[in-house]
Structure 1
Amino acid sequence: MARNPGLSSYAKDPKAAANSLVPLLEGAEGAVPQELQSETPLELGATTGLRMLKGNAAEKILQAVRDLVKNQSTFHTKDQWVSILDGTQEASYTWVAVNYLLGNLGKKYERTTATIDLGGGSVQMAYAISNKQFAKAPQDVDGKPYVHKKHLMSKDYNLYVHSYLNYGQLAGRAEIFKASRNGSNPCALEGYEGYYSYGGVAYKVKAPKEGSNWKRCRRLTRQALNVKAKCINEECTFNGVWNGGGGDGQDTIHASSFFYDIGAQVGLVDPKFPSAIVKPVQYLKSAKVACQTKAADIKTVFPNTQDRNLPYLCMDLIYEYTLLVEGFGLSRYKKIRVIRDVQYKNYLVGAAWPLGCAIDLVSSSLNKIRLSSS
């Protein structure tokens, strides 16, 4: 379960951050029988927003949450269960959740789907690779593995995972503004002038007199993504990151979060439905329309666009197209399914990492039980 606004929105008020979770606790207490609550583990994982807070703000918030859970909850919990997930965990849990809901877990890795989750602060890619690819998998620049072993539904998987911090949709805007060096920005809609705040920094945003230009915006986006970074391994995505080698586990792709949200705002996705098939080139076509529209007129052309995204619609669409095609190396005509929810039996379930975390924990526990009893 998730909560908006997130914990990071309360950087200066840890107690308010903790109290924002009370509705979630109450919801959980209503779902779990009272007699089982003391035996039911409760875990909280914070993600990108909290990871990016400066100083000790994140730890203060986590401690306030621990105190809240201890004092106001009857669930079984430990201090270490209230923590910040790293991007790799978040990405792998998303992959587990989506593949579980689709009924893929327990099948050969070739039958699983890759996942791309475009959040606000980071973007994550995860997909299963072959044993041959796993045998030659390198480590990242920090010496951490790109590939993790997963035992799920009696099946072993080699899961390639990478989280690109600072390359989510909202963070990506900041990277593009940095690349333009505070000059007029070709991604900004004609007639717009203002400030964009992210990570405690305010970036001046001013459109050129002649308006936005999708070609120049794309060049700036490629620069922000660092697509020409040196690749020390055989094949890379962007910013010098190993791409996992590709293969059957990447044949099918489910993309979530901002890919769905922005797609819905420009008509690529019908928000009445939990998912849709799109091609990267459709984001580019929508971008060309947005980029030639004045800021004052964009709501007329794309009436479903959220007000806070209006000045950045040209930029966001170019970013998503460039990320998919030049970042992750997908064909501009490749069919991908963008998702908000996944149909599971008679329910629509959010395509998010918390479910994957629970499944992974249960699978790990069952595996430990099997090992201890053998």
Structure 2
Amino acid sequence: MQSPMRRALRCGSVAALGALAVAAFLLVLTPTRDAALPARNKYGLVFDAGSTHTALYIYRWPADKENGTGIVSQVEACTAAGRGISSYADDPAGAGASLKPCLDKAMEIIPAEQQRETPTYLGATAGMRLLREQNSTKAQQVFAEVAKAIGEYPVEFRGAQVLTGNEEGSFGWISVNFLMETLVKASPSTAQISHPCYPRGYQENITTAELYDSPCVRAPSSPSAAQLLRVMGTGEPAACSAAVQQLFNLSCGANSTCGFNGVYQPPVRGQFFAFSGLYHSLHFLNLTEGQPLTLVNATIGQFCTSTWEKVQRELPTASRIQLRDACAASTYALTLLLQGFGFNHTTWRNIRFTRQVTGVDVGWTLGYMLNLTNMIPSEIPQRVIGLRRSNWIAAMVLLATMLILTFCLLALTCCQKSSSGYVSL
């Protein structure tokens, strides 16, 4: 026979289990709410095929976009070995091969299941613009090999194009405002040409076919394209500046204030960001740390009057091309900012020379990717039905208590059966 205590415990456990079951059932019937699962990320690749090098930028944004535009962030940047793809005019296959190491890196970052839906673009700038003007057939061959190389990877390649200067500048503007949350010895018969922007003592032998008219050097009217020319640097800052100014049409016409070609431009006001070529041209001379304009002018003038031997000695890690072009590049940047955009000694302090903003490389590629996300359909987040957090916690506590009581009830039953199985002698 069961003892009264065991019988009471068993009845109490059964009653408690019943009550808990009813409570859990009522919690399940309480109003639920619609919850969105975390949005998955999308990826995009943009090649910046410049004149000196090619870089691949890997971008990522949530699939559910804000106001139709992806909130794009930079995941990684990879610089391809060698020079820009335009330098492969006589070896088009080499242009495609140069991109593969960066594409391999991108495949390690982008999840395998998303690679085939990753939009990939290549935008070419100054180098390919010039090659297309000089030899459109070679430019097409380079693009064909680039497309062939990218096509070997499981990405959605959407083509290569040459960006205009306006497009490059516009996309760069978008990038900055988005990140700021506002939005050999020559032969005796070699002819000589003087170059005021090259350091004194610098020499370079080229053929007439390799030389094109520029503000600093005019190609002689020679009938022989194979004639050797010796370019001699003379290091004349004033002559270099005068030659560079010929690149700009600074006449305002009827407008009292303009930037270029008579187009109205209001006086400069507020803070400005100088990036890409403007940054690199002055950073080479350590002039991007907010130095006053007087010091910038003096430093550029001092470098431009230096001898070739001196600049090689003082900057031993710089390449020959960097040392040769530094005077011309910095003079161009200064002319653009002062005569072109109208900065002066006062407003110069408002220019911030930078390579990155909030840890992201500044250039046209981010703005390009932001613009293109408008053409990529936004995904609707997957939704699930779920209990409120407080109800879910209460249900879990009730279920745990029910399990404990169930074990207790089973233990009482086992003990009861065990005790009733003995036979008295």
Does the TM-score normalized on the shorter chain lie above 0.5?
A: yes
In the alignment, what sits opposite 1:123?
A: none
| Distance in structure 1 (CA, Å) of the matches to 2:123 and 2:116 | 20
1:51 alignment partner, SS class: helix
In the alignment, what sits opposite 1:219?
A: 242
In the alignment, what sits opposite 1:205?
A: 231
Q: Which runs of 5+ in 2 are unaligned?
A: 1-46, 48-54, 56-79, 184-191, 218-229, 381-425
In the alignment, what sits opposite 2:372?
A: 361
C-alpha contact 2:201 2:309 (8 A) present in aligned 1: yes
1:184 alignment partner, SS class: strand
C-alpha contact 2:90 2:138 (8 A) present in aligned 1: yes
| Distance in structure 2 (CA, Å) of the matches to 1:192 and 1:83 | 36
| Distance in structure 2 (CA, Å) of the matches to 1:29 and 1:198 | 44
In the alignment, what sits opposite 2:272?
A: 253
| Distance in structure 2 (CA, Å) of the matches to 1:9 and 1:219 | 29
Alignment CA distance shift 1:228-1:88 (3 Å): closer
TM-score (norm 2): 0.56
In the alignment, what sits opposite 1:11?
A: 89
1:90 maps to 2:90: no
| Distance in structure 2 (CA, Å) of the matches to 1:192 and 1:13 | 29
In the alignment, what sits opposite 2:356?
A: 341
In the alignment, what sits opposite 1:324?
A: 337
In the alignment, what sits opposite 2:148?
A: 67
1:213, distance to aligned residue in structure 2 (A): 3.3
C-alpha contact 1:97 1:351 (8 A) present in aligned 2: yes
1:305, distance to aligned residue in structure 2 (A): 4.7
1:43 alignment partner, SS class: strand
C-alpha contact 1:43 1:77 (8 A) present in aligned 2: yes
1:55 maps to 2:78: no
1:236 alignment partner, SS class: coil
1:77 alignment partner, SS class: strand
Alignment CA distance shift 1:257-1:303 (3 Å): farther
| Distance in structure 1 (CA, Å) of the matches to 2:331 and 2:206 | 18
1:11, distance to aligned residue in structure 2 (A): 0.7
| Distance in structure 2 (CA, Å) of the matches to 1:331 and 1:63 | 46
**Mapping of 1:117-266 within 5 angstroms?**
183-195=193-205, 200-201=210-211, 204-208=230-234, 212-222=235-245, 224-227=246-249, 229=251, 231=253, 235-238=257-260, 240=261, 242=263, 244-246=264-266, 251-266=270-285
| Distance in structure 2 (CA, Å) of the matches to 1:24 and 1:281 | 42
Q: Which runs of 5+ in 1 are unaligned?
A: 106-181, 270-275, 370-374
C-alpha contact 2:257 2:266 (8 A) present in aligned 1: no
| Distance in structure 2 (CA, Å) of the matches to 1:237 and 1:340 | 24
1:34, distance to aligned residue in structure 2 (A): 0.6
Which of 302, 314, 321 lines up with 2:327 in the alignment?
314
Q: State the one-letter code of the partner of 1:260.
A: Y
C-alpha contact 2:197 2:240 (8 A) present in aligned 1: yes
1:193, distance to aligned residue in structure 2 (A): 3.1
**Mapping of 1:16-31 within 5 angstroms?**
16-31=94-109
1:320, distance to aligned residue in structure 2 (A): 2.2
Which of 108, 114, 122 lines up with 1:44 in the alignment?
122
In the alignment, what sits opposite 1:283?
A: 296
1:351, distance to aligned residue in structure 2 (A): 0.9
C-alpha contact 1:280 1:325 (8 A) present in aligned 2: no
| Distance in structure 2 (CA, Å) of the matches to 1:29 and 1:199 | 42
1:38 alignment partner, SS class: helix
Q: Which has the higher contact order (CA 8 A, sep 6+)?
A: 2
| Distance in structure 1 (CA, Å) of the matches to 2:208 and 2:352 | 29
1:103 maps to 2:181: yes
Alignment CA distance shift 1:88-1:228 (3 Å): closer
Alignment CA distance shift 1:193-1:36 (3 Å): closer
Which of 102, 111, 115 lines up with 1:33 in the alignment?
111
1:350 maps to 2:361: yes
Which of 292, 299, 319 lines up with 2:305 in the alignment?
292
Alignment CA distance shift 1:82-1:320 (3 Å): closer
Alignment CA distance shift 1:227-1:39 (3 Å): closer
C-alpha contact 2:197 2:237 (8 A) present in aligned 1: yes
Q: State the one-letter code of the partner of 2:258.
A: C
Alignment CA distance shift 1:16-1:315 (3 Å): closer
Q: State the one-letter code of the partner of 1:217.
A: C
Output the aligned Cα RMSD.
3.2
In the alignment, what sits opposite 1:166?
A: none
